[in-house]
Chains A and B, each alone.
Chain A
Amino acid sequence: MKTQNLVSLLANQVEGVDARRAGRRLLMSWAAGTMVSVLLVAGVLRFNSALPEVAQRAMFWVRGGFCASLALVAVVAVGRLGRPAARLALVPVGLVLPVVAMGLLAVVVLLNAPAHDRVSLVLGHTAFACPWLITFLAAPPLIALTWALRGAAPTRLHLAGAAAGFAAGASGALVYTLHCPELAPPFFATWYLLGMLIPAGLGALLGPRLLRW
C-alpha cells in the first residue's frame, strides 16, 4: 500500500476524539483495580476487627494519608508517562516528600522511645508478611493500570512500568491499612514502602514486555 493510500484510509470517516478519554480511562481502571483489592481484604485477609476503634487514632490517618498521597502522585505520573513528551515536572518531588516526611517521623518516634523498644517498633508483629501482602493487594491495580497504559502511548517503558507498579503498590498499601494492625511510623515507613517498591520493581521489569506499541 502506498503511503498516500494509507493516509486516505486513516482519514476516511475519521471519528473525533475526546482529549479527556485517556485520563478518564486511567482513573476508572485505577478505581476498579483498587476496589478489587478492597474485596480481597474483605474476602481473604479480613478487615481488622478493631477497625472502628483504630480509626479513631490519628496515626491510622497518618498512615492512610502517607499511602494515599503516594498513590495519587504516582497515578498522575502514570498519566503523564502515557503521553509522549509530557513532562513529569514536580512529580518526583511529590513522591519524595511523603517518604522523607514519614522517614523523619519514624526517626523522631524511635529517638523518643526507650532503647529496648526500638526494634519492636520497627518490626512490629507482622513485618515479614507486610510487604508481600501489599504486593498481593497491588496486583489488581497493577493489572488495571497496565491495561490503561496499553491504551495510551508510553515511550519510556521501564519508567512507565515502574510508575504503574509504584502506584499499584501505594494503592495496595492504602487498602492494606484496613487489615493491618500496625500503627507505629517506624513500621510503616519501612515495610509499607518496601511493599510499594516490590511491585514498582516488577513493573519496571515487565514494562518493556507489556507496554510496547
Chain B
Amino acid sequence: MREDRLKELLVHGLSGDGATYRQFLEELSNHLRAYLRRRLASLPDDVEDLLQELLLAIHNQRHTFDPTQPLTPWVQAIARYKLADLHRRRERNEALQDPLDEDTMFTTVDHEAAEARHDIEKLLNLLPHRQRLPILCVKIEGASVSDAARRTGMSESAVKVGIHRGLKALAAKLRSGP
C-alpha cells in the first residue's frame, strides 16, 4: 500500500533520518503533482508553483502530523487548504468538489516536473542574514548545524531558529506571490 509505505518513510523522516525524509518528499511530490494536475486542469502553469508551496508547507508543518493517524487525510487536508487558498488568491470562487480524493491521492504519480515560475533562490536572498545564512550553510551546502554555527558566528540554537523561521518566511513569500 502506498499509504503505508509513505507513512513509514515520513515517520522515519520525522525522527531525523534525512535520506528517508528525502525519499518521502520525492515520492510524495510525484503523487502531489499528479493530484494537482487534475485539480488545476485550467491552470497548468500553477501546478509546479503550488507543488513547491505544498512541499514547503508540509515540511514546515510536519510536527502537526500525528503518527497514530493515517497519512492520506493529513496530506489531503493540507493540499485542499492550499488549493482553496490559491483560488481565494485568484479570486475565483469555483467550488472544489473532489469526491474521489479518498482513493486517488496516492494511486497516481507524475514524474514530469515542469519549471516553477517563482524562484525560491531569489526569494531566499530577500530573507534577513540570520535566516538566509543558516539556510545556505545547512540546507543548501549541507553543513552540519555546528559547522554552520562556527562559520556564521551564530550559536547553534540561533542557526536552528534561523532555519525554522527562514523556511516559514519563505512559505509566506511564496504565498504572497513572486
Q: Chain A interface (Cβ within 8 Å of chain B)?
A: 1-4, 6-19, 21-22, 82-86, 152-153, 155, 212-213
Instruction: Say whether, besides A8-B22, A12-B138, A13-B139, A213 and B171 are in contact (CB < 8 Å).
Output: yes
Instruction: A186 to B74: give the CA distance in the assembly, Å.
Output: 43
CB within 8 A of B29: which of A3, A86, A213? A3
Residues of B in contact with A, size category? 35 or more
Query: Can you list 9 pairs linking A and B with CB atoms under 8 Å apart?
Result: A3-B29, A3-B116, A10-B25, A10-B55, A12-B140, A16-B14, A83-B66, A84-B64, A153-B57
B74 with A17: CB separation less than 8 A = no
A1 with B119: CB separation less than 8 A = yes
List, in ascending order, chain A residues with CB within 8 A of B120's CB.
1, 6, 9
Instruction: A57 to B54: give the CA distance in the assembly, Å.
Output: 55
List, in ascending order, chain A residues with CB within 8 A of B22's CB.
7-8, 11
List, in ascending order, chain A residues with CB within 8 A of B171's CB.
213
B64 with A22: CB separation less than 8 A = yes
Instruction: Decide if B97 is an interface residue (CB 8 Å cutoff).
Output: no
Instruction: A132 to B120: give the CA distance in the assembly, Å.
Output: 47
List, in ascending order, chain A residues with CB within 8 A of B121's CB.
1
List, in ascending order, chain A residues with CB within 8 A of B45's CB.
none
Instruction: Decide if B18 is an interface residue (CB 8 Å cutoff).
Output: yes
List, in ascending order, chain B residues with CB within 8 A of A85's CB.
69, 73-74, 76-77
Closest B residue, CB atoms, query A19? B67
Closest B residue, CB atoms, query A11? B22
B63 with A22: CB separation less than 8 A = yes
